[in-house]
Amino acid sequence: ILLLDNCRAHQPVDELVSGNIVATLLPPNVTSLIQPLDQRVIQNFKCFYRRSFIQGLLNADCDKTDFQKKFTVKDAVYAIALSWNQVKYTTLQKCWKKLWPAANPSLDLTPQTDKEENQQDTQFKFWMSLEVPIIPKSK
């Protein structure tokens, strides 16, 4: 199932059916309720991806420009998979708990630890502050 909001840019739902993939529109006015919920997940994912990219850059046997030229789509896909796997299950659970609190009331979804999340925020802000362009500047 592919869930879509009511954005005009999306193809019509009946055109987005392929094999066992079915597209469904979210009800009107739902996007504004759920969109803020995924920000922590996206923030964590981006932090892990940037860390992976920068570690690759630092571990490379070449300069920044050569590294960027050699960084392939395959490398990006592997980095994306690695980064997604590092997003904690509890982060995803907390995202859904805000949207659907009654989904599993027996789970204790208290925050991981404020210290752990603050550490992730600090690391993310550090990586974002580095001036390492991901796309080389055109000449």
pLDDT of residue 60: 87
Residue 133 or residue 48, greater confidence: 48
Confidence of residue 131 (pLDDT cuts 50, 70, 90): low
Give 16-72 pLDDT, tens digit per residue.
888 888 888 888 777 767 776 667 888 899 999 999 998 888 888 888 889 889 899
pLDDT of residue 80: 94
**pTM recorded for the entire structure:** 0.54
**CA–CA dist 81, 101 (Å, integer):** 29
